[in-house]
Every structure is written in structure tokens, then in C-alpha cells.
Structure 1
Amino acid sequence: MSISETHLKGARLNDLADLAKTLGNSHRLLLLEHIGGGEKTVEALSDLAGLSVANASQHLQQLKRSGFVQSRREGKNVLYRLGGGPIAALLAALRACAEHNRSEIRELISDSLWQQDKLEAISREELLQRMQETEIVLLDVRSESEYAAGHLPGAVNIPLDELELRLAEVPRDQEVVAYCRGNYCALSGKAVTILRALGRNARQLRGGM
């Protein structure tokens, strides 16, 4: 491959990365979902997405700069529609990919319920020692109300059903120790399975609370 071809390929990949970066925001994807249902005003989109008009406008401008949406003025209103090109097909492909990933995680979770004994657990004594030696994320995957009623010192609360959406709150370079209610609670085992499936170093606390 010649130098000019390499530069051309690099430029195309940079353009692709910019498009992916624009789509890497849940609010923008939600706005695109609503726009895909038909042309809408900024005010209508902000209500549907649960955003302020100013915040929705900022996201829409970023989508417009990348060509994902187009706009037109009608009186005092600005209306948005999907841009040209295979945008609807792209969104459908993203949904299909996300559903595929969720299905694989669900299979792992289902399997883990029958193989809890195979999940590497950490004892309280080992946890205390490990916390003195290195930084560990102690993750409480119970509900917010249970966490508020009492939790282990230093624990971060992310309920299991929010874990995938809030994964960015879990440092990638630190070991995660998840815990829940006790020996018969499966929440921490599910959390460890999810975290490991997503490439995180995770273990569960033996015995939980």
C-alpha cells in the first residue's frame, strides 16, 4: 500500500471515528430514535427525551454537524428530521448489536445461577488485606434503599439493574469486589458475571452483608 493510500485510509477511519464519537451518547441516540418517528420541533424532542430545550439543542447541533439530522424553519419553530443516507439502517444495526450483546450476557447470567460455586469469591479477611495493599472498588449491588439502611465502609452503590448503564463509574484499572445481601443472594454473582463478560477484573465477597 502506497503512502497516499495509507493517508487516505487513515483519513477515512478518522471520519468514521468522528461519526462513532457523535453517536457515543445515549441522549443523542434517544433523540435520533424520536426523530426517526417523524419530523419534530426542538421543544417536542426535549420533552420526549427528558432534556432541557438548551441541552437538546446542543445535542441536535452536534448531530447536525455530523450529518445525522437536518433542520428547517417553519415560522418560529425549528424542525428536525433524519439526515440523508442509511441512518435508519445504522440505528437498526446498533440496536441489533446491543440486543446480541445483552443476549450473551443474559446467557452468562443464567449459567452463573447454576454455577455459583465456580465463581471465585474473596473472604472478608482477604478483602481487608487486599484493600491495604492496593486500590479496590467495593461494589454494593443492592437497591438504593438497602444501601442507605446500611453498607460496608467505602462501598459504592450501583444496583444490579443499573450496572451496564453505569459501567463508566467503575474504574477499568482496579479490581472490583461485588457484594449483596448474603449467602443466598444471587445479585453479586450476576454482577461479577456481567463485569467479567465486559472485560473487568471482578470477584464477589463471600457471605455478602
Structure 2
Amino acid sequence: MSSAGPKQAIFASLAEIAQALAHAHRLELLEHLGQGERCVEELAARVGLTFANASRHLQILRRASLTATRRDGKRVLYRLAGEGEVVALLQALGRVGERNVAEIELVMAAYFRARDTMEPISRRELTERLRDGLVTVLDVRPEPEFRLGHLPSALNIPWPDLEQRLGELPQDREVVAYCRGPYCVLSFEAVAALRARGFTVHRLEDGFPEWKAAGLPVEAA
């Protein structure tokens, strides 16, 4: 039997990456790692997994070269390996799913579009409005994620605190809200709640990982 050629070797390695992506928990772990470097305990808590299960999923992602690790004392910290490429891969997967999978389209229509029927603001549009000082950028992620990195001059009001902190948002300025990514429900809920209270508010087209992966400026607390 002849040995596999270079194309087959590449396809075999790509298949390992595809297999690593083939679990909802692992996709969610990658979304959280897109916010910044995290230890296993933090990731397990975010995704609602036991430490053992989270560690197993993360090891699969590392074997597929989607994540990398470093030690910090007794803790193992995970991060995306090739951040821009991994974020772009997840974006492409989402586009294919929205285009070809009927179940995804049903969820998009029933949940996401029901809360925000208006076109989101693109990264380019937001960059221009930030330069002209025309908007308030609202980060509705939890504060630990905000500290890891955020859009320039963003105001962090985590979604659960929004009702009690409405006074921090100017009524006479447009608000652009963002969170973890295109399927993160936090920004959709924030947009719906703020519009119901009379704010002029739009949603960023995706989230912090996509902004950072595009090479746009970020800040850290």
C-alpha cells in the first residue's frame, strides 16, 4: 500500500481540528478564551462544567493546536493559539451554519432577530464614530472579562447590573453595546432593554474577540 501523499497528510491534520470543534462545550470554551487567557477553574465555572470535564475538553483543543498553555504557579492557563486565525475559523463556521442549517436560522429568527431587528453597527462604522466622539460604547460582559481587554473608552456595565445603573448612560448620545461575540445574548438583551427605555442604541456586529483579531485598538484595565 502506497503511503499517503502530502495532500492526504494535510487533510488528516485538518480533520483533527474539525473533530476538536465538534462539541458545543468546546466551541463555548473557545468563545470564552477569545476574551483572554483563563485558568481551567474559571473556564469550568463559565461554561457550567466540572473541573474534570473542562480539563478534558481543553486538552482536546490543545492537541488540535487550537489552544496553548502556560503555567502560573500551580495553575494552568489556557489561551487561543493563533488568536486571529482561531477567531476567523469560528466566524466562518458561524457563517456556514447560518447559511445552510435550518435549525440555526430558526434560532436566529426566534431569539436574536426578535430582540434586535435593526442592522448592527460594523467595526468600521464604530471606529469612525469613536474617532468623531459620537457614541458611548457599552461593554455588558462581566467585569473580569472587561479587565482582560475591552474596546477603547468602553463603559463596563455587566448585563445583570444594567437596570440599576441606567443613570450612567447619557440619554442624548447614541449607545453601541457589545459582548463576547455574535451569538452572545448579553448585547441583544441590553439593546432590547435600553430601547424600551428610550435610548438610541445599536449592537456591534460581533464582539470583543473579533474586534481584537481585526487588529483594532484595545485597552486593558
Q: Which has the higher contact order (CA 8 A, sep 6+)?
A: 2
TM-score (norm 2): 0.43
